[in-house]
Amino acid sequence: MRPLYIEWETLSRGWRDGDVVSEFILTPGFGLGMADKASAEQDLIIVGGGPAGLTAALYAARAQASPLVLIGEVAGGQAATTQEIENYPGFPDGIGGPALAQQMQSHAERFGAQIQFDSAESVDLGTYPFRVRTRTGEYTARTIVISTGSSPRKLGVPGEARFRGHGVSYCATCDGYFFKDKRVLVVGGGNSAIDESLFLTRLASQITIVHRRDTLRADPVLQERAFKEPKIQFVWSSVVEEILGDQEANAVRVRNVVTGETSTIETDGVFVYIGHVPNTKLFEGQLELDERGYIVTDRRQRTSVPGVYAAGDVQDPIYRQIVTAAGTGSAAAIEAIRFIDQHKYEENTE
């Protein structure tokens, strides 16, 4: 069958009109999340459809668990917003984020995962089976895998949303290579901002760090390395007020918070590192969260509630990579299947 190429804009929000992702290929079995209405009683519900959730779906489906996957609005999570991914094993020539998400979804569906473009609006972990209410229905589940991810904290300035994927990025490890021998600007002064700035020195010709304070918040060892790096320069006590450009971002307007003066800095790319926000609001008061709001898990992806597992960025404030998310997704699914089997055995022997 000849592959059908489509515009990603017809499937996803946030991409600009006319953007075409040529790798997005509709293959036989790719269902666009339009499966028949799922049964109200489920063995396993996976909340979230990024790499962690889709990997969990694959592993659970291959174990004949037929998991219900609440994708949300679009499969792939943050990975689907990345123009090209070059550090996921098995794709030496790289792969577009939407294309990788499509392949992950298709792979899980092939083995029987129930993909629904629906979102959980409330989750009750105080009853068993657990209860999940979505925009379109209510379900019970013997086990739940949470893979709702985290969201980069946004600047909230004009031009940021427009140029996301077109010069604005939230992951230097993911997108740094596209700025080889170019000038980049990094916003932030914590560990992530300085660590990623140091990473960018491998690739970019110049890194300008814009920080709202006159001192960094990063660990002393990172600060020392940054101050000694000739490629890095600092713009202190300043905030970004606007990201400028035409088709691609090419400058930022900054304001000095002490003097009030504004200036324009030309750049080829903007990397924003002012923190991440884990998507855990649904689980506040029900699961143990750390001081930043991330779900606390053990090495087997178990949360503080038996039968509830978490995978991916929602429980990982450190790495936030597709490959690590997929790894924790597989582990969570394996543990969930074991939990289901144990409970069914106990029910049958009572």
Q: Which residues contact 54 (CB under 8 A, 6 or more apart)?
A: 69, 75, 76, 101, 104, 105, 107, 108, 329
Contact 133, 70 (CB under 8 A): no
> Mapping DSSP to helix (H, G, I), strand (E, B) and coil, where does residue 138 land?
strand
Could you give phi then psi for residue 6, rounded to 5 degrees? -135, 165
Catalytic residue among 43, 118, 174, 268: 174
> Mapping DSSP to helix (H, G, I), strand (E, B) and coil, where does residue 74 land?
coil
Contact 332, 308 (CB under 8 A): no
Catalytic residue among 43, 118, 175, 316: 175
Query: 175 an active-site residue?
Result: yes
How far is residue 295's CA from residue 137's CA, in Å, rounded to a whole number?
26
How far is residue 143's CA from residue 337's CA, in Å, rounded to a whole number?
8
Q: Which residues contact 159 (CB under 8 A, 6 or more apart)?
A: 168, 242, 243, 244, 245, 249
Instruction: Say which DSSP state 322 is in.
Output: H
Query: 246 an active-site residue?
Result: no
Residues making up the chain, counted from first to last: 350
How far is residue 343's CA from residue 36's CA, in Å, rounded to a whole number?
27
Query: 341 an active-site residue?
Result: no
Q: Which residue has the tokens 């028949």?
A: 36
How far is residue 145's CA from residue 50's CA, in Å, rounded to a whole number?
12
Contact 101, 113 (CB under 8 A): no
| Residues forming the active site | 171, 174-175
